Amino acid sequence: MNDKAGSYLKRSANGVWLAAAIALGGCATQEASPPSTAMSSGAALRMASDAAAAWNSHNIQEISKGYTNGATFSGPFMTGPVPAQAMFESLRELFVAVPDARIKVVSAAPAGENMIAEQWVIAGTWTAPFAGGILAGMAPTGKTFILPGASFLHVQGDKIVSEIQYYDQLMYIAQLGILQKP
């Protein structure tokens, strides 16, 4: 960096610090606001990354540690929220039917006071029968799927209280070879 650029940055930085000091000095006489309980972006991403690591290990016990007792889950193929325990059972079945199932978190960010908005992609190959759900009794097709989706996680501290999941059901079953693509 040349001397002129360095001098400019130093003056600019001093100006920023001076403006911040004036602003903070003006705030000192104002009533303090209560501390925010909003989750930081970094905390949201860490929580999503930790959950993805547990998911990718296919370890249901590790996955369940991220949820509160009494947590609920809802998503496609469901008529409403179910206990998270039902989701864990569905994941057990998924990990048998799709042994290479992996999730990648694309983004995760706070979406309100106790909410995380998460975008993800799940991929895998259907190689064994599903024990339950809409695919129960169907022969595996050996087809690979790549399924983008999103979840909204209501959190309490570092645990999920409820999860609502969204993805394109038609895309999923079409990629599995259940439906003919138009």
- Decide: helix, strand or coil at residue 105: strand
The answer to whether residue 79 scores a pLDDT higher than 90 is no
Angle (CA) 59-132-63 rounded to 5° is 20
**What's the whole-model pTM score?**
0.75
What are the phi and psi torsion angles at 96 (to 5°)? -80, -45
Q: Which residues contact 46 (CB under 8 A, 6 or more apart)?
A: none
pLDDT digits (tens, 9 = 90+) for 110-139: 998 899 999 999 999 999 999 988 899 999
Average pLDDT (93-97) is: 96
Question: pLDDT digit string (tens) for 29-38?
Answer: 344 444 445 6
Distances (CA, A) of 43 to 38, 114, 157: 10, 12, 10
Which three-class secondary structure state does DSSP give residue 112?
coil
Give the pLDDT of residue 41: 82
Sequence-distant (≥ 6) Cβ neighbours of residue 99 within 8 angstroms: 58, 124, 127, 128
Residue 101 is predicted with a pLDDT of 97
CATH domain 39-175 topology: Nuclear Transport Factor 2; Chain: A, (3.10.450)
Question: Which tokens belong to 40?
Answer: 């930081």
What is the C-alpha separation between 134 and 156, in angstroms, rounded? 32
SS3 80: coil
**Inter-residue contact 143 to 177 (CB < 8 Å):** yes
In terms of pLDDT, which residue wins out, 148 or 21?
Answer: 148
Instruction: Give 8 or 68, the one with higher predicted confidence.
Output: 68
What single letter denotes the amino acid at residue 118? E
